[in-house]
Amino acid sequence: MGVLDYILAGIMEALTGNPALVLGPIVLSWPVLLVALGFLTGVLIGATPGLSGPFAMALALPILISIFGFTPDALLPVLGFLVGIMKGATVGGAVPAILFNTPGTPDAFMTTLDGYPMAKKGQGGKALRVAHFASVSGDTFSDIVLFVCAPFLAISIEAFLGLPEKAALMILSLSFVAVVVGNDTWKGIMAACFGLLAASIATGTDSYPRLSMGSDVLAAGLPTIAVVIGVLVVGEIFTSFEDMWTSAREKRPEPAAADPGDSTLTMAKRRRLLPFIGTSMTIGTVIGALPGIGTTLAAALGYTAGRKMHKGATRFGEGAPEGIAATEAANSAVSGANLIPALSLGIPGNVAAVFIILAADTIGGFNPGPSVFRSTADEVNPELVVAFALFTLMVAANLMNWITGAWFMRLLGGLIRIPKQVLLPIVLLLTITSVYVQSAKMSDVYVLLFFGAAGYLMRRTGVPILPFVIAYILTDPLETTIRAAFEASGSDPWFLFGGVIAPAFLACAAAIVLGAGWLRGTPAPVPAPAPASEKETTID
Amino acid sequence: MNRSAKLCDCVIGLCGLGAALLILLVWIPADIDTGVIDVWRRSVRIGDAMLPTFAALGILISAAAIGLRALLNRPGTGLQTISLVFLAWSAVILALSITLMMFTGPALTALWYGSEVPYRRLVTTAPWKYSGFVLGGAALVACFTALVRHRFSWRNVLIGLIAALLIALMYDLPFDNLYLPPNGDV
């Protein structure tokens, strides 16, 4: 099969492969239906103060697997729903930032700087339109870069890197994530090592499951979804509970929603925003392609670049639409680019990519990494068809975003009023239930709560979460690759230092760890705990 | 570096050092059959102890660095407030909710049917199969809402009951093969 055949097969697989509804020549497939549902859910979740996209992905994954099972037909609908949530939540996050002055995620804080002043001036609807236009432009651009870069990167890696080089690349990525996420290199390294240790329980090649302490529960291995959701979601819920408990939020009035008011955004105004959007989406895409660097940095850099470019009457921070456009284009451009390392290397770059990889691992039939893009003339690579089907679903989500996103954002602006104090306990119950129904074992719930407590303590002590999660996900491929490279080298103890590329990767890893202070600057001083009204729940 | 940040980093350093030494000297030797390097039929392979040993060494080194940095008063990222009272209340609420989930169904069945019908035979029969989950789930939602709001209200109990019931129905009605907590363990 040629590349065009694979692209066509992927498109057909996504659009017609698993029909949910057939009306004559019109076929509505489950993957497309799930993309639409995921997108609407994502906008709803993103627009709800206190929730974020990764929260929804964490909750949705066990539910989706319960619905669709572990069959090959389940893969695209599940991935489609997750992609839909990812994109929907990205645009939805601007709604509370603009109308309630409540950033749902740290990157949305920049949106409040100009969004809320615009809303107070009766231009909330216009601000939402600007946010949507910039967000969807950034997202689309980032996806195009993903479609072009991921296959080339994967093919290059497959062609030029052997087993030791791949192992060294994984070590480099892990070092990078451990160092750049959070504010403390040593704590990042500790989190990554903790992830490696947790993932090594009950795995290995010996007949006795290592580190299982003779326990039947541990001998079966830690349930990956319970561990990841525990650290990411339950830990964040407990942290938010404590913030609300220590603050006097319940005695304060709920922030009043500003009236959306005027919502027109003419073509001329859109054209004036394009330079800001173009600059920011380029920044966001570059930042997003690096594993571990989140949307917050992209939003901050995009906003700063926009402020330098801006020469209008309304200054940044006083209700300039260009400020919203610069922020939203940058943070939305991260989402697609974050999948470049995930799809081409199998290395998750952010929480959303973690759930995409987790879904693929759990269901089977698709192993994100360089082998996905392997193409030979004499045999069909089904994973490549799935990859192009996934790209098709991302395009479908973008089309939906362009067509309905702005309308849906405005609609939700008037609907979301659920207090966080009520919402988060319900989310905790839903999380416990969705983990339990997977295996029907309370031991999974105890694992969830144990890692939830670990996640809470890590947050409170400044130990970053993402290195733990990424190390946990990467452990199996890393160990397998290292074992295979060692055996292929004839048990050479210096197998990771042969050739040029692997030592170069390892030297880069060492340089990143040693040069962390320069990369990040000195650690940020400890901020005073903000009241819960000023903090929002985020697992980004 | 403020005092709480220094104390936090010292605690992390000490805990990390202790945990890493325990893992390296006790857990790994006692609970992994192959060593760091394993020789099997004259071929040298990477043993199962390699990965956990490297991970524990990483924890050891990073914990030592964090602790040493704190002792030298170098700036760290420090500590946010941890309230032991909040943690104690959370543990109590979780224990109470899980206990209610586990024992409400069997207790109600024993009250209604006596010892003739064990709960195990009713885990697929409404309303018994919902009883533990709905009561325990409602307790979880209501108690945590009360905890974070510093006040109890019957409205929150009602919200908890409705939420737990909706979640139960969401899983139970469309899927015959799924068990609500704790019915799979009975």
Q: Considering the domain boundaries, does residue A483 fall inside one? A: yes
Tokens coding A377: 């003339």
Percent of chain B with pLDDT over 70: 96
Interatomic CA distance for residues A328 and A338, integer angstroms: 16
Which residues in chain B touch residue A245, judged by CB atoms under 8 angstroms apart? 83, 86, 147-148, 150
Give A465-518 pLDDT, tens digit per residue.
888 998 998 898 899 999 999 988 888 888 888 888 899 999 999 998 887 766
Tokens coding A390: 């996934």
Interatomic CA distance for residues A463 and A191, integer angstroms: 6
Between A213, A424, A437, which is nearest B171 by CB? Answer: A437
User: What is the average pLDDT across A389-400?
Assistant: 92
Residue A21, beta-bridge partner list: A28
- The answer to whether the beta carbons of residues B39 and B111 sit under 8 Å apart is no
Q: What is the mean pLDDT of chain A?
A: 83
Asked whether the beta carbons of residue B55 and residue A428 sit closer than 8 angstroms, the reply is: no
Interatomic CA distance for residues A68 and A81, integer angstroms: 12
Number of separate domains in chain B: 2
Q: Closest residue of B to A453, CA-based? A: B87
Both B63 and B90 in one domain: the answer is: no
Q: Is the pLDDT of residue B138 over 60?
A: yes
* Residue written as token pair 């964040």: A236
Interatomic CA distance for residues A533 and A247, integer angstroms: 8
Interatomic CA distance for residues A436 and B137, integer angstroms: 13
Both B31 and B113 in one domain: the answer is: no
Asked whether the beta carbons of residue A422 and residue B171 sit closer than 8 angstroms, the reply is: no
Asked whether the beta carbons of residue B46 and residue A210 sit closer than 8 angstroms, the reply is: no
Both B94 and B169 in one domain: the answer is: yes
Interatomic CA distance for residues A533 and A251, integer angstroms: 11
Both B59 and B134 in one domain: the answer is: no
ipTM of model:
0.93
Interatomic CA distance for residues A466 and A236, integer angstroms: 13
Taking the alpha carbons at both ends of chain A, their separation in whole angstroms is 39
Highest mean pLDDT among A83-92, A328-337, A530-539, B85-94: B85-94
Q: Considering the domain boundaries, does residue A527 fall inside one? A: no
Both B96 and B146 in one domain: the answer is: yes
Q: Considering the domain boundaries, does residue A529 fall inside one? A: no
Between A194, A242, A479, which is nearest B51 by CB? Answer: A479
Q: Considering the domain boundaries, does residue B136 fall inside one? A: yes
| Amino acid identity at B13 | G
Interatomic CA distance for residues A426 and A432, integer angstroms: 10
Q: Is the pLDDT of residue B74 over 80?
A: no
Helix (H) or strand (E) holding B46: strand B43-46
Which residues in chain A touch residue B179, judged by CB atoms under 8 angstroms apart? 436-437, 440
Residues 6+ apart with CB under 8 A from A357: A342, A346, A348, A368, A473
The three-state secondary structure class of A28 is strand
- The answer to whether the beta carbons of residues A113 and A317 sit under 8 Å apart is yes
pLDDT of amino acid A292: 66
Q: Is the pLDDT of residue A404 over 60?
A: yes
Residues 6+ apart with CB under 8 A from A289: A145, A149, A337, A338, A340, A341, A349
Give A37-75 pLDDT, tens digit per residue.
999 998 888 887 767 788 888 888 888 887 888 787 888
Both B40 and B112 in one domain: the answer is: no
Interatomic CA distance for residues A533 and A256, integer angstroms: 13
Q: Considering the domain boundaries, does residue A235 fall inside one? A: yes
Q: Considering the domain boundaries, does residue A532 fall inside one? A: no
Q: Considering the domain boundaries, does residue A432 fall inside one? A: yes
Give A198-215 pLDDT, tens digit per residue.
999 988 888 888 888 888
- The answer to whether the beta carbons of residues A230 and A447 sit under 8 Å apart is yes
Q: Is the pLDDT of residue B60 over 80?
A: yes
Task: From A392, A387, A382, select the one nearest A1 (Cα to Cα).
Answer: A382
Q: Considering the domain boundaries, does residue A536 fall inside one? A: no
pLDDT of amino acid B62: 94
Query: Given B18, B37, B71, which residue is the final one in a domain?
Result: B71
| Amino acid identity at A343 | L
Asked whether the beta carbons of residue A200 and residue B55 sit closer than 8 angstroms, the reply is: yes
**pLDDT: is A295 or A143 the higher one?**
A143
Length of chain B, in residues: 186
Q: Is the pLDDT of residue A530 over 50?
A: no
Both B144 and B109 in one domain: the answer is: yes
pLDDT band at B78 (very low <50, low <70, confident <90, very high): low
Asked whether the beta carbons of residue B65 and residue A186 sit closer than 8 angstroms, the reply is: yes
Number of separate domains in chain A: 1
Which residues in chain B touch residue A457, judged by CB atoms under 8 angstroms apart? 82
Phi first, then psi, for residue A224 (nearest 5°) are -55, -45
Q: Considering the domain boundaries, does residue B135 fall inside one? A: yes
Q: Is the pLDDT of residue A285 over 50?
A: yes
Query: Given B71, B94, B124, which residue is the final one in a domain?
Result: B71
Radius of gyration in angstroms for the set of CA atoms belonging to chain B, rounded to a whole number: 25
pLDDT of amino acid B50: 92
Phi first, then psi, for residue A419 (nearest 5°) are -65, 145
Query: Structural domain of residue A198, as residue ranges?
Result: 3-520
**pLDDT: is A67 or A223 the higher one?**
A223
Query: Structural domain of residue B155, as residue ranges?
Result: 84-185
The three-state secondary structure class of A21 is strand
Both B105 and B139 in one domain: the answer is: yes
Which residues in chain B touch residue A193, judged by CB atoms under 8 angstroms apart? 54-59, 62
pTM of the model: 0.83
pLDDT of amino acid A535: 44
Tokens coding A509: 């890893």
pLDDT of amino acid A540: 46
Interatomic CA distance for residues A496 and A518, integer angstroms: 27
Q: Considering the domain boundaries, does residue A28 fall inside one? A: yes
Which residues in chain B touch residue A460, judged by CB atoms under 8 angstroms apart? 79-82
Other CB atoms within 10 Å distance of the CB of residue A539: 25
The three-state secondary structure class of B121 is helix
Both B66 and B123 in one domain: the answer is: no
Both B95 and B181 in one domain: the answer is: yes
Which residues in chain A touch residue B65, judged by CB atoms under 8 angstroms apart? 186
Interatomic CA distance for residues A256 and A278, integer angstroms: 33
Task: From A30, A62, A55, select the one nearest A41 (Cα to Cα).
Answer: A55
Between A433, A441, A457, which is nearest B185 by CB? Answer: A441
* Residue written as token pair 């799809």: A343
